[in-house]
Structure 1
Amino acid sequence: MFSLAADLRAQVGESPVWDAARGLLWMVDILAPCVIRFDPATGVTRRIPVPEVCGSLALCRSGALLVAQRASLVRLDPATGAITPFATLAEEPGENRLNDGKVGPDGCFWVGSMDDRPEKHPTGLLWRIKPDGRAERRREGLVVSNGLAWSPDGRTIWHADSRLAVLDCADFDPATGSTGPWRRLRDFDEATGRPDGAACDAQGNYWSAGVSAGRINVIAPDGTLLRHFDFPVPAPTMPCFAGPDLSTLFVTSLRAGKDPAALAAHPSLGGLFRAEGLGQGAPVPLFAD
């Protein structure tokens, strides 16, 4: 079902984003730290170093990339590798770093943070970054913010906490970016795995990487687990629908923290994997710069 698309050996591969205009897939290795460019047509990869840990990225209308660093965002020119400051989140606690992020139907970049210490506390925040660089706090009390996604009609936002193993959702206004009250949609257990990165399909189902159970979970809008797909290596981190018709599923993975036995059994940990025909994705908007 899944095959190895690129043997990246990423420490923490994350945030795959499909670039339809260029026919490329962008992603990050959080700890390298670098942005990775992958060409599905040729299998060629290119790594672009960035100054700090990079939790996620967004594709901009201008063609630039917006990259979430520890407590700031930078613009990356994908052609030259040039980096320029974009926004600083001065209210982020010093023990935090930015994590999962995605562009919403409002054209803004939504990005959450996490406690980066081994003993984690609910210090994480969820931000809405506007095209002019202004930042709005939208949630607090998170441990590991993750799994942002929107329904195809833009009327529902999903948001997970990996450490608490929960998935929440809220009504969403695509025109204003406002949300209704958050409600608990699902709790996860050891069988399903903790929810990591996510994507939405064209039918409005939520595809979540069960990072601690080695599987991809497909969840209905009412929270029902519809089905799951076993992953070829432990620790898938985030799915992304790609290709001309968004019917190719790419999934990143991690190898950081795995013991020698796991690395010996699964040498392609940290790789990028692909599968065809599992579903069709909903398009992810571009940052409205």
Structure 2
Amino acid sequence: MPGSPPNAPCSMRASICALTCWCSDDTRPIRSATPRSSMRSGRARSSRPRPRSPRKNGSPRPGPHASRPRASRSTARTGPGRSKSGSPAGPCGSIRSSPPRSGPRNGRAGDCQSPARGYPRGMSAPVAVALEPCSTGENPLWHAGENALYWTDIPAGKLFRFDPADGIYRKVYEGEPVGGFTVQADGSLLLFRVSDFARFDPATGSLSILRTFRDEGMQRFNDVMADPEGRVFAGTIGTDDRGGGLYRVDTDGTVTRLFRGTRVSNGMGFTPDLRRMYWTDSTAKTISVFEYDRATGSLANPAIVHAAGPADGTPDGMVVDAEGNLWSARWDGHAILKIAPDGTVLERHAFPVAKVSALCFAGPDLDQFYVTTAGGGRPESQPLDGALFHLATGTRGPDRFRSRILL
């Protein structure tokens, strides 16, 4: 199915007219580190009001309960999104938001990148940079060749491109749902759809199907990831609790089933030494590690390294940083978790939405996160449900490998 032209407009809820920077004093992100005591040492402050001297002009000072203008807690730009021409964007059109122009600048309040209360040094609070109300925003992927980010709204069958340089995002594809995609070695995108994978050129909108594929119990492709040799590990969602699984697509287009036995196969990542691979089973709410053979692409000896707790939400998308720690997005968990290789939860970073679906390292130094969310476009949705978020990480991650399928 041909994709839509690259300049197709993207929709926006008219009720959302301001970029939201979630870094006010009312937020209380949670970490595993011991919180500071709410009581300071020393004497308690007196509750009696201090006497005030009259003003020099003789007018009385306002009382303690007099209304005063309050500055907005958001340090991001407010007002409606704007198109490339600078005019306010209506319900349709390319939308301008306010991400950092050249990556996070710690200490600059205007970019909302100063260390937020409750966050580790170097980490920032999440900022909504694209207010697209995605039903299931997923698969954020940084395209280093374009210095741009792509992500999908799976049920809507849409693929978006966000340019951090000007803060504009636009729809580049609309058609059959895209469960996951990779960047190919030639810079094109490899879309894994319901029953095929296809090469897509965002600049022209051209799409060519490379292979069709269906397996028993398979509903559609889901999260995918390229390996160092250009193969692709592709997860699927099943029609029942045992129909989903994990497949390997070799560079010649051959598809091999590795295993089945879950309903929702999800996020993956390699250890820094490329000897092991993590895989998320959203149905069982676990993350497992496999021995990975780079020469053959085979996986062996799976072992569960992390099982989600009752209040953790469901593990969804995942990345691994340069130090070997896992970062797991939590569906219905309001958070992303930083997890040690042994499965210990090191940090929990709260989000203002419940369904946090996936994340990726991005930026010239791969020291930023873009995070997708879900739940938008419904009567019960909150204003930020389904938005794309940005935050500084305080760490770095490897770039995703590029696929070389049938090139």
TM-score above 0.5:
yes
Mapped pair 1:2 → 2:144: no
1:97 maps to 220
Amino acid at match of 2:146: R
**For 2:297 and 2:402, how far apart are their aligned partners in 1?**
15
In the other structure, the counterpart of 1:26 is 150
Measured in 2, the distance between the counterparts of 1:257 and 1:187 equals 31
When structure 1 is superposed on structure 2, of 56-65 and 175-184 the one drifting more is 175-184
Deviations 1:236-271 (A, max 9, x none): 1001110010011110001158661xx2xx302111
Which deviates the most, 273-282 or 51-60?
273-282
Counterpart of 2:259 in structure 1 is 139
Give 2:323's aligned amino acid.
Q
Distance 1:134 1:214 in 2: 38
Q: Which residue of 1 aligns with 2:354?
A: 234
Question: How far, CA to CA, are the matches of 2:294 and 2:164 in structure 1?
Answer: 31
Partner of residue 204, structure 2: 80
What is the distance in 2 between the residues matched to 1:111 and 1:177? 12
Q: CA deviation at 1:66?
A: 0.6
Other structure's SS at 2:399 match: coil
The corresponding residue for 1:268 is 384
Question: With structure 1 as the length reference, what TM-score do the two structures score?
Answer: 0.93
> Is 2:252 the counterpart of 1:114?
no
Partner of 2:229, secondary structure, is: coil
Aligned AA for 1:189?
Answer: G
Query: CA 1:21–1:220 in structure 2 vs 1: closer, same or farther (change >3 Å)?
Result: same
Query: Could you tell me how far 1:92 is from its partner in structure 2?
Result: 4.3
Q: Verify the 8 A CA contact 1:107 1:287 in the aligned structure 2.
A: yes
Asked if the contact 1:124–1:140 (Cα under 8 Å) also holds between the matched residues in 2, the reply is: yes
Q: Alpha carbon RMSD of aligned pairs, Å?
A: 1.5
Point out the structure with max Rg over C-alpha.
2
Size of the aligned set, in residue pairs, is: 281
Choose from 320, 325, 333 the match for 1:205.
325
Q: Structure 1 segments of 4 or more deviating over 3 A?
A: 256-259
Deviations 1:14-35 (A, max 9, x none): 1011111110111111011011
Contact residue 133 and residue 375 of structure 2 kept, 8 A: yes
Q: Is the 8 Å Cα contact of residues 71 and 92 (structure 1) preserved in structure 2?
A: no
Aligned-partner Cα distance in 2 for 1:100–1:189:
23
> Is 1:282–2:406 an aligned residue pair?
no
Paired residues of 2:173 and 2:202 also in contact (CA < 8 A): no
Distance 2:289 2:226 in 1: 16
Q: Using a 3 Å threshold, how does the CA distance of structure 1 residues 40 and 209 change in structure 2: closer, same or farther?
A: same
- Pairing of 1:169-184 with structure 2 (within 5 A): 169-184=289-304
8 Å Cα contact 2:134/2:377 also seen in 1: no
The structure with more strand, counted as a fraction of residues: 1
Q: What stretches of structure 2 of length at least 5 have no aligned partner?
A: 1-124
Conservation of the 8 A alpha-carbon contact between 1:190 and 1:212: no
The SS at the match of 2:220 is: strand
C-alpha separation in 1, matches of 2:130 and 2:348: 23
The aligned amino acid for 1:162 is S
- Where do 1:143-162 residues align within 5 Å? 143-162=263-282
In structure 1, list runs of 5 or more residues that go unmatched.
none
8 Å contact kept, 2:376–2:384 = no
Partner of 2:136: 12
Query: Which of residues 176, 191, 202 is equivalent to 1:52?
Result: 176
Change (3 A) 1:202 1:37: same
**Equivalent residues of 1:213, 1:235 under 8 A apart:** yes
CA contact (8 A) 1:249 1:278 kept: no
Residues 174-197 of structure 1, C-alpha deviation per residue, up to 9 Å, x if partnerless? Answer: 232122211111111232111000
Return the offset for 1:46: 1.7
* AA matched with 1:30: I
1:268 maps to a residue whose letter is: L
Aligned-residue identity in percent = 34
Cα distance in 2 for partners of 1:62, 1:233 equals: 36
User: Could you tell me how far apart the structure 2 residues matched to 1:256 and 1:143 are?
Assistant: 23
Match of 2:372 in 1: 252
More divergent stretch after superposition (275-284 vs 222-231)? 275-284
- The 3-state SS of whatever aligns with 1:181 is strand
